[in-house]
Structure 1
Amino acid sequence: MRRAVCPGSFDPVTNGHLDIVQRAASLFDEVVVAVGVNKSKNRLFEAEERIAMLEEACAEWSNVRVDGFTGLLTTYCVENGVHAIVKGLRAVSDFDYELQMAQMNSSLTDVETVFVPTSPAWSFLASSLVKEVATFGGDVSGLVPPFVLERLTARLAERRATGG
């Protein structure tokens, strides 16, 4: 079985993420969307919330499952029989960083990295930009699934109400 992982923080999941997951699902027998869990990082959504949103967003693909991980991605890959890491590339700057990571990962274990160019419609998209635009009242409805938009809007309202 050809198993791949699409890792990320997914804070929140965007249509760009889902484009890469869908395309990976057409290339591999099984795709694990692996949510990085790092308690020391300040995220808008807790790991459990990000996992739940991804499970809902990926429900249409029968060969995609969602999991969380801590520590090194390569350790997760070895422990879960994952043969490839799928990374979306938006720009040359992504390639510079991801190539270094791919080379480091291959020096640690026998896992290949597969680069998938982002669809032009999503080449500008990043979770951090979605959060920033939404924080200032911009319309991000075309950038995330509708249920993610609802949760994002509610979370930002909560933060404004508590001064956080």
Structure 2
Amino acid sequence: MKKIGFSGTLDPITNGHMWVINEARSLADEVVVFLSENPAKKPKFSAEERKSIIALSCAEQGWENVSVVIVRGDYTARAAKKQGVECLIRGIRTTADFDYENLIQQTNVDVLQGAKTVFVMPPRDLGSVSSSFVKALEGPIGWNWIMKKFVPGPAYHAWVLSWLRKEWETLWDYEHRDAIAIAHADDWFAQLTGATAYGGAARYYHNLDHLVHGLCEIRVWAANTRPDPADVDIIKQAFWFHDAEYGHNPDPAALTNEEASAQLWLGSHLGQEMGDAAELIRATDHFQEAAITHRLKDILLCVDLAILGQDDEVYQNYARAIRQEYIHLPDATYRAQRGGALAHLSRKAQAGELFRDAYFADQYNQRAIDNMQHEMERLAVK
């Protein structure tokens, strides 16, 4: 077969869709993805954004024989046939899917004189994966770690940036800001999420995932404890910037990451009262815990350390990411230094001093102890 088509709204494209596209590649020389632009639907991403995400996702797999076409104002099956595509491919997950898709394919052929449909059945682990399933994951703590398993990398990246964008616009009250202030905030959002900060290729842990997880922790903590809204904003401001400057500078005269991040925040001129959040950023320096005080320090440190108390899969991903961030260290050196840091944190957790806020202690302390103990055991095995 020369050409085969795959159609859908694909908002976002999932690993299930990717499997079907790959099956199509085994059946034809060329695969055309027909991207529906349905005015009755309100997709998260525009048609052009979805086209880019799909193209990047296929390119990431090295699939050079896949193209993407946006269908506007026509039936997909009819548009496909006009482009010389005689068959569409669809994934069938359930009997309900079959009944629906069979009706659609009969309409496509008998009413529209469009392309026929070939049905394939995805493997069991992809049987429940759909765009609506993925969308429903967003919100609770850890949603990003779960979503990452079900969508290709470019789709995940776009989704996370979209989520962070909404958080950023809310923090800086875009609805009531003038165009100049919004443009200024936009520039800083691009800088913080870009290649020189959390979006950097070498950011294996202190990255966009870290931002999403921490902001979710802050949101859920605030919903459960009802603090002063002004304090919540200060914590969010500090968290957005607290690891913006992150590296391993051997120069003893260089600024610490925390001080460099605080200086970056002060130079952003995003708020009217900048000093409070700057001191809070400085307070995230775990090596100067006793020296730097701030009324919100315990909360921000708890948010930063909450990753230690996550379920096993998330913690394992975190531990691997930390190793990648310190890939410049020889294995023996890393094991010794990482083991020492974990032993210190574990002692604090066992003494009830790791999570100094009661809400976070109840949520994470025991699980953090267990996670760190297991990692220390793995590090000790040569």
Q: TM-score, normalised by structure 2?
A: 0.41
How many residues align? The count is 163
Q: Secondary structure at the match of 1:58?
A: helix
> Does 2:24 align with 1:24?
yes
Corresponding residue of 2:2: 2
> Does 2:108 align with 1:105?
yes
8 Å CA contact 2:57–2:153 kept in 1: the answer is: no
More contact order relative to length (CA 8 Å, sep ≥ 6): 1
Q: Secondary structure at the match of 1:156?
A: helix
More displaced, 8-17 or 107-116? 107-116
8 Å CA contact 1:4–1:31 kept in 2: the answer is: yes
Whichever structure has more strand as a proportion of its residues is 1
Letter in 2 for 1:129: F
CA distance in 2, matches of 1:84, 1:3: 8
Query: 5 Å matches for 1:117-136?
Result: 117-136=121-140
CA distances 1:6-39 after superposition (whole Å, capped 9, x unpaired): 0011101111100000011110121101110123
CA distance in 2, matches of 1:110, 1:48: 25
> How far 1:161 sits from its partner (Å)?
4.9
Query: 5 Å matches for 1:49-128?
Result: 49-59=49-59, 60-70=62-72, 71-107=74-110, 108-109=112-113, 111-128=115-132
Identity of aligned residues (%): 31
Letter in 2 for 1:39: P
CA distance in 2, matches of 1:126, 1:110: 25
What RMSD over aligned residues (CA atoms) do the two structures have, in Å?
1.6
> How far 1:148 sits from its partner (Å)?
1.7
Indicate the structure (1 or 2) with the bigger Cα radius of gyration: 2
Letter in 1 for 2:8: G
CA distance in 1, matches of 2:80, 2:12: 23
8 Å CA contact 2:11–2:131 kept in 1: the answer is: yes
CA distance in 1, matches of 2:117, 2:10: 19
8 Å CA contact 1:134–1:153 kept in 2: the answer is: no
CA distance in 2, matches of 1:65, 1:38: 20
> How far 1:96 sits from its partner (Å)?
0.6
Corresponding residue of 1:35: 35
CA distance in 1, matches of 2:13, 2:140: 19
Corresponding residue of 2:162: 155
More displaced, 81-90 or 110-119? 110-119
Whichever structure has more helix as a proportion of its residues is 2
CA distance in 2, matches of 1:62, 1:11: 22
More displaced, 137-146 or 7-16? 137-146
Distance 1:160 1:41, change over 3 A: farther
CA distance in 1, matches of 2:31, 2:158: 25
CA distance in 1, matches of 2:155, 2:115: 32
Letter in 2 for 1:77: A
CA distance in 2, matches of 1:136, 1:50: 25
| Unaligned stretches of 5+ residues in structure 2 | 171-382
Letter in 2 for 1:158: R
Q: Secondary structure at the match of 2:90?
A: strand
> How far 1:136 sits from its partner (Å)?
3.3
Divergent runs of 4+, >6 A: none
> How far 1:61 sits from its partner (Å)?
1.6
Corresponding residue of 2:339: none
CA distance in 2, matches of 1:40, 1:124: 25
